[in-house]
Chain A
Amino acid sequence: MSTSRLSPDALTPQQPISQLVVDVLHLLMGEMRGPFTSINQSLPKLRDLLDAEAYADATQETQRLLGESERLLSVLDLLLNMMRENKVKLLPSLYTPHKICQLVLAAVAPASEAAKVTLQVDIAPEAPKLTADERLLIQSLVCCCELALEATSLPGTITLEVVAEPTLYHFRLHDPRPYPPETLATLQRDFATPLRVLLQQRSAMRVFLSRFILRAHGGLLQLLPSGTGGVTFDLSIPRPERMVPVILQDASPLFEET
């Protein structure tokens, strides 16, 4: 045991952000209870693959399950850190956009296969690396993919495009499939609702989480209508040189989005 632990010096204070975190947790449990259950239900499937010596499939399933578990833990840690320190704490590293996209595709592969939707990636070969909290950024992208996959039952192709602008990185999820008007209206309403109001309504967890993660990175999430009746989810984060100041920032202002 470290002796520094034994001293009453340097104690952390109690934090006022705690109520907001409680609201986020309510959302998590209300709308994202699914990931907990999904992880638990995937384990017997993995065991069956191992029993059948289907090792290639088992490896793929292990990696998918690992990613899902790590993202869930990152979200929990984000919330608990906010509760403890009243700050949003990111763990940014340098990543290639290609890797981010491949991990997103792997994460949503079972859902996209079930929906008969093909997911494809469009990245310029020269796209530079980006700085982000990888697991949280992927969670944000996965949330948008899930929103798209659930928006309509039509088969089709969704494209994840990466565009590097001088100051911003864009991850654009183009879904040309026409959405039912009521679904589109709900999405547009949720995207136009301030985060704090979404919390009070305890609804739209995926919209909330995705937007909150991007704002914590100093970025934005926008919903853009497409000419086909579908949408483009536009997730933007600053280029690495602009990321540093937002690694650790006060959490409260992030909820005040209008």
Chain B
Amino acid sequence: MVNSANLPNAFQPHSADSPADNRWLILFAHDVRKPIARLISTLHLLNDMLTAQDYDGVEMVMNIALDSGEDLQRMLSDLPFQPRTELSTTPTQLVPLVERVVYSFQESAHAAGVSLGSTMPADVPLLQIPSSQLMRVLNNLIDNAIRYAPNSAVQVVVSPLILEANGVRLLQVGVLDNGAGIHPLLHRSIFDYFFRVVDQKEPDGYGLGLPFCKWIVEQNGGQIWVESTLGEGSAFWFTVPIYPLSSGTAPESEP
């Protein structure tokens, strides 16, 4: 469980209609920026094409806009969002989810000079976490890697090794970059709410993405941490429980 002693007031349990706390609301405001910002840039492009009467590529641009709309719809349908305090009863397929997320970031990765890909073993077990929540963790980690490690190589890596802790089998997933790395003194603090290092070149950071990743991962029975060396890059790893083999529930492929 999350230790609420160190949380800002907004995240403390306080109201009748949010039984656990209010983090879901801030998480929504934080995460919903991305599909809206993507939609805005797409609409600007579409508007430019229509104004210039250049209709050749409008269908493709429109499809990107529709994708953003679908992302928005997924987030709305996930409200009120609340990471589960009990383990998920529906297994999630990791591979198609990673492929979809990596695909959705290709445009912004290209714009930042980042080569983005994934490395996954042949047999990836089903996971015990709602796919929409796993997607938001990956979205935030990849988005951070692209923004904070431009002109680098970013990889989503699924470890072939199965870990075990307290009788629970865990899969380890990571988002790795070969950017400038993170100072060792910050390795724990970057998971605190609103913690960020002031940098005028990066005005969009709110210091909420990593704390929310931590919240989601821990509520689903996993852990998250960073391994980083200055000048060499960073690896954000998290673990997720593997879905018990005995269950016959159909997997949840994508949110």
Q: Which residues of A contact B (CB under 8 A)?
A: 1-16, 18-19, 21-22, 25-26, 28-29, 33, 36-37, 39-40, 43-44, 46-47, 50, 53, 55, 58-59, 62-63, 65-66, 69-70, 72-73, 76-77, 79-80, 83-84
Contact = CB atoms under 8 A, between A and B. Distances in A.
18 contacts: A1-B152, A6-B181, A6-B186, A8-B183, A9-B197, A11-B198, A12-B194, A21-B10, A25-B28, A36-B32, A36-B76, A39-B39, A47-B66, A55-B50, A65-B43, A73-B33, A77-B33, A80-B206
Contacts of A13: 194
Given A8-B186, A80-B206, A63 B26 contact: no
A200 to B, nearest CB: 11
Given A11-B196, A62-B47, A76-B29, A37 B150 contact: no
A2 B201 contact: yes
Contacts of A3: 180
A46 B49 CA distance: 14
Contact of B53 (A47, A55, A84): A55
A66 B49 CA distance: 14
A212 to B, nearest CB: 16
Contacts of B183: 6-8
Given A76-B32, A83-B10, A83-B26, A1 B43 contact: no
Q: Which 3 A-B pairs have the closest CB atoms?
A: A18-B10, A1-B180, A43-B69
Chain A contact residues: over half helix, strand or loop, or mixed? helix
Contacts of A84: 194, 196, 206-207
B8 A18 contact: yes
B25 A70 contact: no
Contacts of A72: 36
A83 B206 contact: yes
Nearest to B43: A66
B205 to A, nearest CB: 9
Contacts of B206: 80, 83-84
B195 interface: yes
Contacts of A76: 29, 32-33, 36
B215 interface: no
B7 to A, nearest CB: 9
A3 B202 CA distance: 12
A79 B194 CA distance: 13
Q: Which of A1, A9, A37, A77 has the most CB of B within 10 A?
A: A1
Interface string B40-74: 10011011001101010011001001100100110
A26 B79 CA distance: 12
Contacts of A37: 76
Contact of B66 (A36, A43, A53, A77): A43
B179 interface: yes
